[in-house]
Amino acid sequence: VAPNIYYLGYAGVVRFRGVRIGGISGIFKSHDYRKGHFECPPYNQQTIRSAYHVRNIEVFKLKQLKRPIDIFMSHDWPRSIYHYGNKKQLLKMKSFFRQEVESNTLGSPAASELLQHLKPTYWFSAHLHVKFAAFMQHQTNSKEELPKATKFLALDKCLPHRDFLQIIDIEHDPSAGDSLEYDAEWIAVLKATNSLVNVTQSSWSMPENNGLHAKWDYSVTEEAIKEVLEELNHNLKIPCNFTLTAACYDPSKPQKQVEPVHTINPQTTEFCAQFGLTDINDRIQQAKEEGSVRGEHEEEEEEEEMDSTGSAEEPSEYNTDNSGLSSINPDEIMLDEEGGDEDLSTCSVDPSPDHPPDFSASFSDIRIMPDSMAVSSDDAMDSTNEELEKSGVSKQVEEKSLNERPLKRIGGNENGNSGIKKIKRRNQAIYAAEDEDKTE
């Protein structure tokens, strides 16, 4: 399907035909945001969750960029982006978002921070399984600065009758080659921040201008960017060096499940060696071999030995307490946060009888995002009392449905053993069914 995969990294920036494309992986969780990248197979109940959580070092690296970004991608929506689109229509389609939207707690605060800093022309996200477009006009810092705007787009799940695909024309350099290219500024930033790499579970903060750090600005100079270009002989083409590290799945030759092992990726190894960067996977492997990666029972001792770079007791700068919120997305794959023998689960909920699926109204008419589509942030608050009462009734019905329908879990084997933890993809049969989505 994709024989020349290029791994962008936990965060990364590349170029294609002159278009500068950046991205960050992961979902924001405040309790893991300040930790290093320490997870690797075989995973336990803790690391299988924290492995996909975004970290502060990736946000810090991206905030060192000064040159304009054309396209940025994230899994999470930036928090507050829903205030810049048709919020009323969004809440009509996903009424269980209302509480978080009105309290402004839906989405990632880290992504919102990057959105305000990078001000990309386009921002594409996923995660919430609904098509939503927004237009955000950024504030200028000075009268001389030209105003910038970001066109945001999220798409629905890849299922029949859902808005999961949209074609957008992007201005580009027609004379540029058709290969992915390194971004010289990003490579220079990676070099400058290489000393900040952390592969432990210890929580720590990024350098900032608070009197505790001798250096807090890791943005790069034009000279540093020029050095990267000279190092590459001005040839920024990314090599097609993807290498298989595991056998491809063959349905005709079923294999017994094997517990995953930690594998060093040759493509990443070559990239890090070329630019003198720390290979995180290799560093984790070394730490495992040296016995310096301790288990969960030693975590408290490790945090007590931290230096002045941060504190495990330091509160997050983000307000992420969603304990009072009850919104649950029926389309989302849920990971059980309570732990237990079977820690992975999926949630399957039938549509509310008050809100049957209406695929004809799912933003399918939005094919171009014009500058005039900016919507007032108060557009979701002007509904009548009758509409609010209806949404309240609908929410009660949805909550009742959720309470009555238990979470699906990955069961053990016939002998009752939990076996190997795995993520079960919902709706696997829907791609072969003619109209299965009506029962989803």
Least trusted range by pLDDT, from 95-104, 247-256, 297-306: 297-306
Position 299 scores a pLDDT of 52
In this prediction, residues 274-293 reach a mean pLDDT of 84
Cβ-contact 333, 346 below 8 angstroms = yes
Is-contact 106 97, C-beta < 8 A?
yes
**SS3 of 414, please?**
coil
CB-CB contact of 116 with 148 (8 Å): no
Token pair, residue 191, equals 């070099």
Mean predicted lDDT score pLDDT of the chain: 76
Q: Is residue 385 one of the residues assigned to a domain? A: no
75: nearest Cα among 105, 40, 100, 107: 107
Give how far Cα 229 sits from Cα of 56, 190, 215, 222, 269, Å: 28, 14, 25, 11, 20
pLDDT at 117 over 70: yes
How confident is the model at residue 190, as a pLDDT? 98
- pLDDT tens sequence across 226-238: 999 999 999 999 9
* DSSP category for residue 123: E
- Output the pLDDT for position 429: 56
**425 confidence band (pLDDT: 50, 70, 90):** low
**Which amino acid is residue 225, in one-letter code?**
I
pLDDT of the residue at 259: 79
The predicted pLDDT at position 317 comes to 55
Residue 54 counted as domain residue: yes
Contact 127, 27 (CB under 8 A): yes
Residue type for 198, please?
A: N
- pLDDT tens profile 340-396: 333 323 333 333 333 333 323 333 333 344 343 344 444 434 433 444 344 444 444
Is the pLDDT at 185 greater than 80? The verdict is yes
128: in domain: yes
Q: What is the DSSP string of 49-64?
A: HHTTB--HHHHHHHTT
**pTM score > 0.85 for this model?**
no
Spatial contact of 207 and 218, defined as CB atoms under 8 Å apart? yes
In 3D, which of 257, 206, 208 has the Cα closest to residue 418? 257
* Count of CB atoms situated within 10 Å of the CB of 11: 23
Is residue 248 over pLDDT 90? no
**Which of 358, 20, 43 has the alpha carbon at shortest distance from 170?**
20
**Domains in the chain: how many in total?**
1
Q: What is the mean pLDDT of residues 83-111?
A: 95
pLDDT, residue 337, reads 43
CA dihedral (69, 73, 74, 76) positive or negative:
positive
Q: Of residues 212 and 428, which shows the higher confidence score?
A: 212
Residue 11's SS3 state is strand
How many C-beta neighbours within 10 Å does residue 347 have?
Answer: 19
For residue 327, tell me if it sits in a domain. Answer: no
- Whether the per-residue pLDDT at 254 is higher than 90: the answer is no
Token pair 């040159």: residue? 67
Q: Is the pLDDT of residue 180 over 80?
A: yes
What is the bridge-based pairing of β-strands 345-346 and 180-182? unpaired
pLDDT at 186 (0 to 100)? 98
Task: Please tell me the distance from the alpha carbon of residue 74 to that of residue 25, in angstroms, as a whole number.
Answer: 6
Higher pLDDT, residue 104 or 305 = 104
- Averaged over 394-421, what is the pLDDT? 44
By C-alpha distance, which of 230, 266, 148, 193 is closest to 11? 193
Q: What gap in Å lies between CA 151 and CA 432, rounded to an integer?
A: 35
Tell me how far apart the alpha carbons of residues 328 and 129 are, in angstroms, rounded to a whole number.
12
- Select the more confidently predicted residue: 354 or 438: 438
- Please compute, for residue 146, the number of CA atoms within 13 A of its CA located in the half-sphere on the CB side: 3
Tens digit of each residue's pLDDT (9 = 90 or more) over 24-83 = 999 999 999 999 999 988 889 999 999 999 999 999 999 999 999 999 999 999 999 999
Q: Are 22 and 13 in contact (CB under 8 A)?
A: yes
> To which residue do tokens 């984790």 refer?
284
pLDDT given for residue 4 in this prediction: 79
- From residue 349, how far is each of 394, 404, 407 by CA, in Å? 14, 10, 9
- Percent of the chain residues past pLDDT 90, beyond the cut: 48
Q: Is pLDDT larger for residue 99 or for residue 366?
A: 99
Residue 223 has pLDDT above 80, yes or no: yes
**393 domain-assigned:** no
> What gap in Å lies between CA 229 and CA 275, rounded to an integer?
12
Output the pLDDT for position 362.
Answer: 33
33 part of a folded domain? yes
SS3 at position 334: coil
In a domain, residue 328? The reply is no
What integer is the mean pLDDT of 124-145?
Answer: 92
Determine the average pLDDT of the residues in 106-126: 96
**Rounded to whole angstroms, how far apart are CA atoms 392 and 399?**
10
Let me know if residue 325 belongs to a domain.
Answer: no
Q: Is the pLDDT of residue 5 over 90?
A: no
Tell me which residue range forms the domain holding 233.
Answer: 11-293
- Give the Cα separation of 340 and 272 in Å (integer): 38
pLDDT of residue 140: 86
pLDDT at position 204 is: 86
Q: How many CB atoms are located within 10 Å of the residue 305 CB? A: 7
